[in-house]
A and B are shown apart, each in its own frame.
Chain A
Amino acid sequence: MTKMTYREAARSALRDALRSDARVFLMGEDVGRYGGAFAVSRGLLAEFGPERVRDTPLSENTFVGAGIGAALGGMRPIVEVMTVNFSLLCLDQVVNNAATLRHMSGGQLSVPLVVRMATGAGRQLAAQHSHSLEGWYAHIPGIKVVAPGTVDDARGLLLAALREPDPVFVFEHAALYAMEGEVDETAGAGEIGRALVRREGADLSVITYGGSLPKALAAADLLAADGIAAEVVDLRSLRPLDTPTILGSVAKTHRALVVDEGWRTGSLAAEVSARIMEGGFYDLDGPVQRLCSAEVPIPYARHMEDAALPQPATIAAAARAMLRRDG
């Protein structure tokens, strides 16, 4: 096991992929000379050269579309869109091409494409740089969506994405890049479509992913001090969702709190909640609850941004409220 950051873990996966498969190349804004806006690709240009680590113009729609075309042409592109905020400019290529071409061509075409981007708030970047729109992507059949919430997954899920024959979108939470953890660099790819119980507990299930996972684990520590045993489920894959693992946890704890940094209305949390209603209703001792971001453009001022996002204290408070028998 090696201690490294989430950023280094993602880089480790990129380096492995570039070394092991000649079809793999990385392209995106500032991935080369700059080293990546979040320094994920630092050093890769020197190691692999400008053919395989390609700086692109600020043309999100075209370089994502070019990734799709290159995948059709037999390459294994990894496209980095700097952040989810800018990915709004490539949604046409994602929704109309990446997600459709296999089915619409009657199975003739394959788009083995990996698109990585940073997501999330928490860095005082204000409304246009703080989106959490991975739930939108998870709405779309034809693509897969993963969101690593641990250092190990920052590597493993990216490697897993590269083994998929179809497009996979990897949402790396911008607030996690400096997080440290243990990684087994000899381990292979993770598994897309499988959630993991990150902490066992009997009193309620806190179901979350990505940047909210460390917050949920911190909340579980706070709750433990009160004698409440929270189970923390890390979705990891937002599409497909691992419904059996979600329902299995709820069957054990009988209470579910879904924590999602996306906005509540029409959110991924709503989808998880609906699946629990459909498949686990009779296991529940109370209504499923959701803790999402406040329905507001994310503000700049620290105290206001903090108030807009799920936090360990608010997660713990929501959990306590669910367990309060006098309430």
Chain B
Amino acid sequence: MPSRERGLRLLRQMILIRRFEEKAAELYTVGKIHGFLHLYIGEEAVAVGAMQALRPEDNVVATYREHGQALARGIPPGAVMAEMYGKASGCSRGRGGSMHLFDVSRRFHGGHAIVGGGLPIAVGLALADAMQQRAALTACFFGDGAVAEGAFAESLNLAALWRLPVLFVCENNLYAMGTALARHQAQTDIVRKAEAAGVPGEAVDGMDVLAVQAAVGRAAAAVRDGQGPRLVEARTYRFRAHSMYDPDLYRTGDEIERWKANDPIARFGAALCAQALLEDADVAAVEAAVAAEVEVAVAEAEAGPWEPVEDLLKDVHTHPVPR
């Protein structure tokens, strides 16, 4: 088990993601947030556990279900919430919304909403680090749906061929939108797929933040040691539907309840309490602090300015081009 302080920090990050997203879902229903909103609820242990292995100089590439990674990487909740509102104070100036969070100061390179589209970018970021002799790695998050894309096979191959410092983190939540892994892949063992591409991999219980931290830590150490790319398959589950539009017809209530019984936050909190590292009052204090933080984030988003329409074409190119 971690120290009390470390345990509290992990728990707090997971609870922040959970409560932040619950608030986002609520704000979506009242029309404050629009477009697609893909909730990470249930998967918090993956982003929080994995992010512990990263350093400030490392790159992160994520998917359209990236609120967890963004918050765990340290993007201020107010900037993420403002982005979902579409405000100019958002972390992408309101141009991206929920699916396209960016923060170059934290080397957070999106927020990619074409499945598999982030993998080649991650390979390139790692290539740039390698060619400039920078001791950094690139963590690339993607889902089980992405393993069906050519970009998965191509990117693992290229990273392995050139021994690039890429840490592939597959968040296997069992469903590519509504299609179960076994319904779209003949080989459902993602680690075996990675190994076929020359990338050693390890599967881990994605509902256990400490197990994720340990597995990603091992993989990151190998990558930093110059051994080439590694893959971690985190077996996890989203408790909510794919997006706010999804009626969730493709899985049973029983299945969802079984996974909810393995809630990564409740499980970790209980483990810390069982080890007498925390008491119920500590968890309550975390909840209160997070609730306040989420309220501040919402207030910041509400107060944020809209981008002036005159700026519509700004940053299409660095310098304006004639029409």
Contact = CB atoms under 8 A, between A and B. Distances in A.
B59 A73 contact: yes
A77 to B, nearest CB: 8
B182 interface: no
A190 to B, nearest CB: 16
Interface in B91-135: 91-96, 100, 102-104, 109-110, 112-114, 117, 119-129, 131-132
Interface stretch (B187-195, B223-231, B284-292, B315-323): B315-323
Contacts of B317: 102, 142, 144, 165-166
A108 B321 CA distance: 19
A92 interface: yes
Interface in A63-120: 63-75, 77, 92-93, 96-97, 101-110
Contacts of B104: 105, 108-109
B14 to A, nearest CB: 27
A124 interface: no
Nearest to B59: A73
Interface residues of A, number: 44
A51 interface: yes
Nearest to B61: A69
Contact of A75 (B90, B127, B318): B127
A97 B102 CA distance: 13
Contacts of B323: 240, 243
A227 B91 CA distance: 63
B151 A62 contact: yes
A64 B138 CA distance: 17
Contacts of B92: 104-106, 108
B112 A97 contact: yes
Contact of B127 (A61, A70, A105): A70
A56 B121 contact: no
A61 B151 contact: yes
A73 B131 CA distance: 10
B96 A66 contact: no
Nearest to A102: B315
A227 B264 CA distance: 84
Nearest to A166: B317
A207 B316 CA distance: 27
A59 interface: yes
Which are the 4 A-B pairs with shortest beta-carbon distances?
A: A69-B124, A65-B120, A73-B128, A106-B93
Interface of B: 59, 90-96, 100, 102-104, 109-110, 112-114, 117, 119-129, 131-132, 138, 150-151, 154-155, 157-158, 161, 314-319, 321-323
19 contacts: A61-B150, A61-B151, A66-B123, A67-B124, A68-B120, A68-B121, A70-B127, A73-B128, A73-B129, A75-B132, A93-B117, A97-B112, A97-B117, A105-B95, A105-B96, A106-B95, A108-B92, A108-B104, A240-B323
